[in-house]
Amino acid sequence: MNYNDLNGMNNNNNNHGVYQTSFPGIMNKVYGIMFLGLLLTAGVAYGVSNSPTMMNLIFDNIVLLIALIVVELGLVWYLSSRVLEMSSGKAMFMFGLYSVLNGVTLAYIFLTYEMGAIYMAFFTTAITFAVMSAYGYVTKTDLTGIGKLLFFGLIGIIIASVVNMFVGSSQVNLFISYAGVIIFLGLTAHDTQKIKDIYSQVSNENIAILGALTLYLDFVNLFLFLLRIFGMNKD
């Protein structure tokens, strides 16, 4: 979704009426919804990882796994592009559904990595995410230009990751992981500031859900890249 095209959308939000709340109030909702999504994802991932039947069903069936990933991507695209047009109930349901599906596909981390590495990656993610989001919240510097560079960097590491699937270089994998951490730390600050920009342009209660989805994705991706750095594969 091109957030720069949101000018004038206030006239197209009749289903929600005039939504008036302070920006700090919006951000409190953003972080609250994001936290609930992360909690749901973690709970589902842990539950699935402790079910041999579910693990075999999902990860031994490449067609089902690909289908789940495709559905996840479709949900993210649909929710991020249409969330401001939905009822708040529908938007929350779809966000919750995405969080559940993401938990299902992330269940593998509990069998692939030691719990110590998972804890370390999570707490490091939480601290660095909080710092960068706070920076994006308070800074007066326009981060739009940086956001564009980070987006191109993200495309670069996606391409490098695909290539490295065939090369199998541990050094390239480590470089990609560090680059991913830097990119998503930057995106956390950029996306937090972007929520402020959207808030200034649009009167819609679903801004909080859109912001929560955006920061949820930043948090999860930052966590996964850090986990690749800290993690030691189980024998």
Residue 55 lies in a domain: yes
pLDDT, residue 231, reads 82
Residue 140 lies in a domain: yes
Q: DSSP assignment, residue 141?
A: S
Residue 2 lies in a domain: no
The total number of structural domains that make up the chain:
1
Angle between helix 207-230 and 62-82 (nearest 10): 140
Q: What's the predicted TM-score (pTM) here? A: 0.87
Residue 68 lies in a domain: yes
Question: What DSSP string describes 166-192?
Answer: HH--HHHHHHHHHHHHHHHHHHHHHHH
C-alpha closest to that of 98 among 141, 158, 37, 42: 37
- Chain-centroid distance of CA 79 in Å reads 13
Contact 57, 107 (CB under 8 A): no
Q: Is the dihedral of CA 23, 41, 127, 217 positive or negative?
A: negative
Q: Mind listing the pLDDT tens digit of every residue in the chain (235 residues)? A: 344 444 433 444 444 444 557 888 889 999 999 999 999 999 999 999 999 999 999 999 999 999 999 999 999 999 998 998 999 999 999 999 999 999 999 999 998 999 999 999 999 999 999 999 999 999 999 998 898 899 999 999 999 988 888 887 888 888 999 999 999 999 999 999 999 888 888 778 889 999 999 999 999 999 999 999 998 544 4
Cross-strand partners of 233:
113
Residue 3 lies in a domain: no
Give the phi and the psi of residue 208 in degrees, each rounded to 5: -65, -40
Contact 198, 214 (CB under 8 A): no
CA distance 1 to 31: 21
Residue 7 lies in a domain: no
Tokens 């951490």 label which residue?
Answer: 181
pLDDT, residue 15, reads 42
CA distance 105 to 38: 14
Residue 9 lies in a domain: no
CA dihedral 84, 86, 89, 95 (to 10 degrees): -70
Residue 5 lies in a domain: no
Q: Which residues contact 177 (CB under 8 A, 6 or more apart)?
A: 225, 226, 228, 229
The parent domain of residue 29 ranges over 22-230
CA distances from 194 to 4, 26, 27, 178 (A): 10, 13, 12, 24
Both structure tokens of 32: 């609250």
Contact 177, 228 (CB under 8 A): yes
CA distance 70 to 79: 14
